């Protein structure tokens, strides 16, 4: 295997492993917030604000993973 093949495998592994956590977190956040809104519809605006903020933080981890994968690929 040459260096280019190893880099592509490393990029694929970094993305696959690094996005797994945020994907699970976003699914859990969405599920919990839908359940909370179903139980207490009057609190929907507060729940939705907290949900969007939590999803943004979880998505930031996925973006960091993408940055690391791009660094691996282009260096």
pLDDT of residue 1: 82
4-57 pLDDT per residue, tens: 999 999 999 999 999 999 999 999 999 999 999 999 999 999 999 999 999 999
Tokens of 44: 């929907």
Rounded to 5°, the CA angle 12-18-20 comes to 105
pLDDT of residue 51: 96
Domain boundaries in the chain?
3-74
Contact between 29 and 55 under an 8 Å Cβ cutoff? The reply is yes
CATH number of 3-74: 1.20.20.10
Q: Is 62 a residue whose pLDDT tops 90?
A: yes
pLDDT of residue 27: 96
């Amino acid at each position: 295997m040459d260096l280019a093949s190893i880099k592509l495998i490393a990029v694929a592994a970094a993305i696959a492993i690094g996005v797994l956590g945020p994907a699970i977190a976003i699914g859990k956040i969405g599920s919990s917030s839908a359940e909370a809104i179903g139980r207490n519809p009057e609190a929907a605006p507060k729940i939705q604000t907290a949900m969007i903020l939590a999803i943004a933080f979880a998505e930031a981890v996925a973006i960091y993973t993408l940055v690391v994968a791009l660094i691996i690929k282009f260096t």
